Amino acid sequence: MLPHPRPIDDVRDLDPDELPARLHTWTTPKVIRGLVAHWPLVAAARRSPAEAVAHLAAFDHGQMPVTATTAAPDAGGRLFYNADMSGFNFRREQVPLKVVLATLLKYATDPAPPSIYVASTTLDSFLPGFTRANPLQLGVDEPLSSIWIGNRSRIAAHQDVPDNLACVAAGRRRVTLFPPDQIDNLYIGPLDFTPAGQAISLVDFHAPDLDRFPRFPQALQQALVAELEPGDAVFIPSLWWHHMEGLERFNVLVNTWWRPVPAWMDSPMNALMLSILALRGLPAAQRAQWRAMFDHYVFADSEAATAHIPMQAQGVLGTLDAAAAAHVRQTLLRRLQR
């Protein structure tokens, strides 16, 4: 029998105004019960999917189509690769949001509907005014809020660089989380050929093939799980793997991403891709030497690496700011254009 994930830590009776102070102290996942229960969208969704659709439609300016992902009923809501990983088991099309919402209502009573999924759609661009009507203050710099709308879905375990607060506004969600160090046990697919931009686990959580993925039970031993009702939220720290399931015939999730770093800092994923290009093909002895270099210059105490160098001579090893970062970026671009 496979191990059963442990529950995600619950936080209850949290005043939304207290969230910014609490959020900055959390380094592990938390479920915040009822955090956005005050949202008008949550109240509408509790009455009916049709009322939730009407609430969303009130903010739809109709000037831009959304990207709708659809899959055949036999996909079972799992938006994934096709059988030989030469492509995907879904298609994408640009359609008006009102058409997506009407189609979801049309199939709401169908026992075997096609999968319909609108993913990561920026709220301020597509539903202006929504965040004023459904407010939540996080106290973070440069937040990016998105909405996810669909029927039953299974989104493979993946990770994001930013921290993430995901709020269930309609339907129910099951979220299964894994610490970042479980990467070896989750059998991650390609980095640059992905269903939605992030590398994903190739394991079907509903029917894991343990002959192909024998270490997956070890990941489950470290996993955390929760089912979220309308109004609940989950905090997912940076790089935690998360498998997301929409459990009802109409589901809406609103999430916000943010990074607690200066805007001029680059994405660590860019460094990973460049490291694969520059280091992975080296002989083993040289890779070990470069690991020591990275430990010294990147992962160890920065002062230990620079204390013996006069401050004015430290260059890229010194304290970075926006101007210094721009210089480093331009230097890299010149070196890569060869």
Question: Over 80: is that where the pLDDT of 169 sits?
Answer: yes
Residues 6+ away with beta carbon under 8 Å from 246:
77, 150, 151, 152, 153, 154, 171, 172, 173, 253
Q: Are 195 and 79 in contact (CB under 8 A)?
A: yes
pTM summary value:
0.94
**What pLDDT was estimated at residue 69?**
98
Read off the tokens for 116: 């319909």
**What pLDDT was estimated at residue 300?**
87
**What pLDDT was estimated at residue 63?**
93
Q: State the residue for tokens 């040289």.
A: 286
Q: What is the mean pLDDT of residues 75-100?
A: 97
Helix (H) or strand (E) segment spanning residue 12: none
Please state, as a whole number, how many other Cβ atoms lie within 10 Å of the Cβ of residue 157.
Answer: 25
Classify 181 as helix, strand or coil. Answer: helix
Q: What is the mean pLDDT of residues 2-15?
A: 96
Helix axes 40-47, 49-57, angle to 10 degrees: 140
Give the pLDDT band of residue 299 (cuts 50, 70, 90): very high
Which carries the bigger pLDDT value, residue 311 or residue 31?
A: 31
CATH code for residues 6-258: 2.60.120.650
Question: Over 90: is that where the pLDDT of 338 sits?
Answer: no
> What sections of 134-243 are H helices per DSSP?
183-186, 216-221
Question: Over 90: is that where the pLDDT of 81 sits?
Answer: yes
Question: Over 80: is that where the pLDDT of 93 sits?
Answer: yes
Give the pLDDT band of residue 1 (cuts 50, 70, 90): confident
Could you tell me where in the chain the CATH 2.60.120.650 domains are found?
6-258
Beta strands of 210-336 (E only): which ranges? 224-228, 233-236, 241-246, 251-258
- Over residues 174-203, the pLDDT tens digits come to 999 999 999 999 999 999 999 999 999 999
3-state SS string over 234-254? EEECCCCEEEEEECCCCEEEE
Q: What is the mean pLDDT of residues 256-270?
A: 93
Report d(CA 316, CA 296) in Å as an integer. 14
Report d(CA 265, CA 14) in Å as an integer. 32
